[in-house]
Chain A
């Protein structure tokens, strides 16, 4: 510990401060920093605690602020551990509130910076952990008359996004109701020739031309606010796109509704300029189409929110508070303030706040929300716990190992969000098309206008304008562009709910096309840990005695096979005794005195050395070895007592998972470094026919390569470390997750739960997602390819069918909602591999 003090005693009103200094690791740096700080006016005493990497300062708040102290530390070349929190501020309506709240926040001791976003109502506060906390920030905000909600999660702020969506929905709906309210009377006075629709006929059967004209003028006037309030975003969007030499859906709607209004107005004011019969306004098109498209957008916003529901659910899993032990006391603090190495106390039924390792107590944890495994998992001291999982009945303490953005949950959320922002290869193709789509529609609209003008029936100009407008309105680039991304978001979210993390759209698309799945044996199909499977006693012994003796003799040994026997005995309720005269014979086995008897446990070499006659057991040993098990002889006082066998056992659901994969028509191949006999035996139990045995670790990638050469898409399943080269070589690499390490570099797909079912699920959900995306895409293309020519009037010469622009607007709105709804169907996808909902 480095202690430095200034000469003066702490002045009156001195305050103390504790700064985390993650970079200060040795005495030299501690001394340099203390020295630098001593020069700063206002700092009265400095004490650097190397072990805790903290500086304790006494300072004069009148002369220097916390931010000033931090600045001094940073000028000296060290960074102060900073934390950031985001909180919602309610009741903020004006821009001037922003400055006031920011000022009061910055005045809180320990707050380094604060900024408030008026659009979202969220304050982002950077502060020194331990000095300022959420309560202080809350108190400051309340002191100027506003309310703060609880802190938001770190960067991925789902509530914020959901709220932004809700705001957008509300604003669009308000625009819709206004447009709809104007639409009704506009439609009712638009067609004096259609007597059943024309409202004024209700009052009088003879309406003068002057009244008709006046009503049209009124329609034109009330349609203006529809365009510039309800349809504002179309015009502003079109204008910004235009400046960028681009055109989008806004361009089409703005041109369509704008052209309809301008033509109508021109026809009203200068009827003489138009050929006879063509000077008829159609303001109703502008109002109704705006209303419909805005309604479509509003429904789209709502449905889009549901598509990303899965990730919101994931983020919502995060615990809000944690109970930590600090200075011997239990403190309940916001989860953002938990630090690595804090000891966290968890009571029955509580959520685990962060990742860590149990140091005291035991319990069973429900990890289903993260791993997809439905059964609670038993945990003991030394076992990892994952934040956001739920404790069942026990209590325990654990040491935090990962907090904030490093926790498994944060990594999962980040991975899923990154994946949702990626592109499936099929979407890249679509992008090329959508780049040409809108200008192409504009060209078609111009050509349609010219065609009707030149070749159409009378009144040619009216027909030409209406058809051109209809073409602009019916085209729906949104449906085309949204199809793949929306399905991807829904599918990736669905997979994440089951503990399957797919890295990006490309991995998902490739996974949907897999034909062959290669499974590593050890640790993938099997548990990767040997277990006691058989005990065959020689005449004169019984099974229990045999196991008990073998386990007691093996108890001091650290050999994995010996440990497997000890654990096997304990699992059968036979607690091994403490042996005497224990001796491990390397390469042979062990010998020990148990209950006054001399017990030998080991291989045949040990028995031969000790001259034990094992001929009666030869047959049993041969059979066990045939099953791929490791057999060990047990002898008591020089006499053969029996055989115990140990084997790597199957994971509970491997058989089921492989059955599902085969049902899906996948070829399943087993790859292992083990000998042929053991490999075959396991393969038989799980129903795999093709086995590649005795493959050296470095050869695995070559084997995958060879399988790819057969012309099929190959998926490889293994652990992320030993099998990394093979995972990379495969078209899709699936890594079996271990604990809290989620982002496995080599893998395209990470299975957090460690179950093979995740592989089947990943492939199933990928297939469903791609199918969904293709449906939407196909639907959108067909809609546009059929809709645009019909709108242009291609059916008119043959059947006299002409689409009204209003119908076109409805069709366009419905088509984009259909795409979103189709993607939402994926939320209800149920796979064969997981029966759980």
Chain B
């Protein structure tokens, strides 16, 4: 009995490692309208979707809508772009930029608990 519990416990540890650290998320592709790559992102306990795949060289428009009142997600920060935006609850805030090179542009909340990224492909 005890051995079984021990094994289950260790399996749980392995699962935590896999689920939170090793799991590779699949990106969500954007829709392209008149040359602009647009996507709606819902902010509630996380960014949904949180991995967004875009093409380089074309403007990207991210429409964030925060659907919670918890202060954690009040601000979204694109550190590598030097941009940030306040997200008032219920309002849609749009951030626009044009990625010039392939790579990853991470974004997160102020405390770094919620994270997402824009994956730029060439």
Give the B-binding residues of A (Cβ under 8 A).
117-120, 157, 160-161, 164-165, 167-168, 171, 233, 236-241, 243-250, 300-301, 304, 417-418, 420-423, 427-428, 430-431, 434-436, 438-439, 442-443, 446-447, 449-450, 453-454, 477-478, 481-482, 485, 504
CB of A37 to closest CB in B, whole Å:
26
Asked whether B36 is an interface residue with its Cβ less than 8 Å from the other chain, the reply is: no
Q: Is the CB of A450 within 8 A of B9?
A: yes
Q: Given that A167-B69, A454-B2 are known contacts, is A482 also in contact with B111, CB under 8 Å in the complex?
A: yes
Q: Is the CB of B71 within 8 A of A304?
A: yes
Q: Is the CB of B71 within 8 A of A439?
A: no
Per-residue 0/1 for B105-118: is the Cβ within 8 Å of any A Cβ (1 yes, 0 no)?
00010111111000
Residues of A within 8 A of B84 (CB): 417-418, 420-422
Q: Is the CB of B25 within 8 A of A422?
A: no
Give the A-binding residues of B (Cβ under 8 A).
2, 5-6, 9-10, 12-13, 16-17, 19-21, 23, 25, 44-48, 50, 68-72, 75, 77, 79, 82-86, 88-91, 108, 110-115
Q: Can you give 15 A-B contacts (C-beta < 8 A)?
A: A120-B89, A120-B91, A237-B68, A238-B45, A241-B45, A244-B46, A244-B48, A245-B25, A249-B113, A420-B84, A421-B77, A436-B21, A443-B16, A454-B6, A482-B111
Q: For B20, give its contact among A247, A300, A422, A427 (CB under 8 Å).
A: A247
Residues of A within 8 A of B20 (CB): 245-247, 438-439
Q: Is the CB of A250 within 8 A of B45?
A: yes
A248–B20 CA distance with the chains assembled, in angstroms: 11
Residues of B within 8 A of A442 (CB): 16
CB of A662 to closest CB in B, whole Å:
34
CB of A527 to closest CB in B, whole Å:
35
Q: Is the CB of B77 within 8 A of A435?
A: no
A243–B20 CA distance with the chains assembled, in angstroms: 10
Q: List 6 other contacts, CB 8 Å, given A421-B77, A446-B9.
A: A164-B69, A241-B45, A243-B46, A245-B20, A439-B21, A447-B13
A174–B89 CA distance with the chains assembled, in angstroms: 20
A119–B91 CA distance with the chains assembled, in angstroms: 9
Q: Is the CB of B115 within 8 A of A168?
A: no
Q: Residue of B at shortest CB range from A451?
A: B9
Residues of B within 8 A of A450 (CB): 5-6, 9-10
Q: Is the CB of A485 within 8 A of B70?
A: no
Residues of B within 8 A of A120 (CB): 88-91
Give the one of A168, A421, A431, A454 with max B CB within 10 A: A421
The 7 closest A-B pairs by CB, nearest first: A421-B84, A240-B45, A481-B111, A119-B90, A244-B46, A431-B112, A439-B20
Q: Is the CB of B69 within 8 A of A171?
A: yes
CB of B117 to closest CB in A, whole Å:
12
Q: Is the CB of A439 within 8 A of B17?
A: yes
Q: Is the CB of B86 within 8 A of A417?
A: yes
Residues of A within 8 A of B47 (CB): 244
A667–B96 CA distance with the chains assembled, in angstroms: 43
A438–B45 CA distance with the chains assembled, in angstroms: 15
Residues of B within 8 A of A250 (CB): 45
Residues of B within 8 A of A248 (CB): 45, 72, 113-114
Residues of B within 8 A of A436 (CB): 21
Q: Given that A422-B82, A436-B21 are known contacts, is A240 also in contact with B46, CB under 8 Å in the complex?
A: yes
Residues of A within 8 A of B21 (CB): 436, 439
Q: For B90, give its contact among A117, A165, A435 (CB under 8 Å).
A: A117
Q: Residue of B at shortest CB range from A115?
A: B91
A304–B110 CA distance with the chains assembled, in angstroms: 13
Residues of B within 8 A of A446 (CB): 9, 12-13, 16
Residues of A within 8 A of B88 (CB): 117, 119-120, 157, 160-161, 164
A430–B13 CA distance with the chains assembled, in angstroms: 24
A449–B47 CA distance with the chains assembled, in angstroms: 32
Residues of B within 8 A of A164 (CB): 69, 88-89
Q: Is the CB of B6 within 8 A of A240?
A: no
Q: Is the CB of B112 within 8 A of A434?
A: yes
Q: Is the CB of A477 within 8 A of B46?
A: no
A236–B69 CA distance with the chains assembled, in angstroms: 12
Q: Is the CB of B2 within 8 A of A117?
A: no
A300–B111 CA distance with the chains assembled, in angstroms: 14
CB of B8 to closest CB in A, whole Å:
9
Q: Given that A168-B69, A168-B71, A244-B48 are known contacts, is A453 also in contact with B79, CB under 8 Å in the complex?
A: no
CB of A461 to closest CB in B, whole Å:
9
Q: Is the CB of B113 within 8 A of A434?
A: yes
A160–B88 CA distance with the chains assembled, in angstroms: 8
Q: Is the CB of B115 within 8 A of A443?
A: no
Q: Is the CB of A117 within 8 A of B91?
A: yes
Residues of B within 8 A of A237 (CB): 45, 68, 70
Give the one of B71, B82, B111 with max A CB within 10 A: B111
Q: Is the CB of B23 within 8 A of A245?
A: yes
Q: Given that A119-B89, A245-B19 are known contacts, is A478 also in contact with B46, CB under 8 Å in the complex?
A: no
Q: Is the CB of B70 within 8 A of A233?
A: yes
Residues of A within 8 A of B112 (CB): 427, 430-431, 434-435, 481
A157–B112 CA distance with the chains assembled, in angstroms: 24
CB of A599 to closest CB in B, whole Å:
60
A562–B21 CA distance with the chains assembled, in angstroms: 74
CB of A406 to closest CB in B, whole Å:
20
Q: Is the CB of A161 within 8 A of B45?
A: no
Residues of A within 8 A of B89 (CB): 119-120, 164
Residues of B within 8 A of A417 (CB): 84, 86
Residues of B within 8 A of A421 (CB): 75, 77, 83-86, 110
Q: Residue of B at shortest CB range from A477?
A: B113
Residues of B within 8 A of A443 (CB): 13, 16-17
Residues of B within 8 A of A239 (CB): 45
A420–B83 CA distance with the chains assembled, in angstroms: 10
Q: Residue of B at shortest CB range from A157?
A: B88
A454–B7 CA distance with the chains assembled, in angstroms: 12
Q: Is the CB of A301 within 8 A of B71?
A: yes
A248–B73 CA distance with the chains assembled, in angstroms: 12
Residues of B within 8 A of A504 (CB): 82
Residues of A within 8 A of B110 (CB): 421, 482, 485
CB of B67 to closest CB in A, whole Å:
9
Q: Residue of B at shortest CB range from A243?
A: B46
CB of B52 to closest CB in A, whole Å:
13
A237–B46 CA distance with the chains assembled, in angstroms: 8
Q: Is the CB of B46 within 8 A of A246?
A: yes
Residues of A within 8 A of B50 (CB): 244
Residues of B within 8 A of A244 (CB): 25, 45-48, 50, 114
Q: Is the CB of B111 within 8 A of A434?
A: yes
CB of B96 to closest CB in A, whole Å:
15
CB of A740 to closest CB in B, whole Å:
24
Residues of A within 8 A of B13 (CB): 443, 446-447
Residues of A within 8 A of B85 (CB): 421
A422–B111 CA distance with the chains assembled, in angstroms: 11
Q: Residue of A at shortest CB range from B22?
A: A245
Residues of B within 8 A of A482 (CB): 110-111
Residues of B within 8 A of A168 (CB): 69-71
Residues of B within 8 A of A243 (CB): 46, 48
Residues of A within 8 A of B108 (CB): 431
A240–B46 CA distance with the chains assembled, in angstroms: 6
Q: Given that A245-B25, A423-B79 are known contacts, is A439 also in contact with B5, CB under 8 Å in the complex?
A: no
Q: Given that A164-B89, A417-B86, A481-B112 are known contacts, is A449 also in contact with B9, CB under 8 Å in the complex?
A: yes
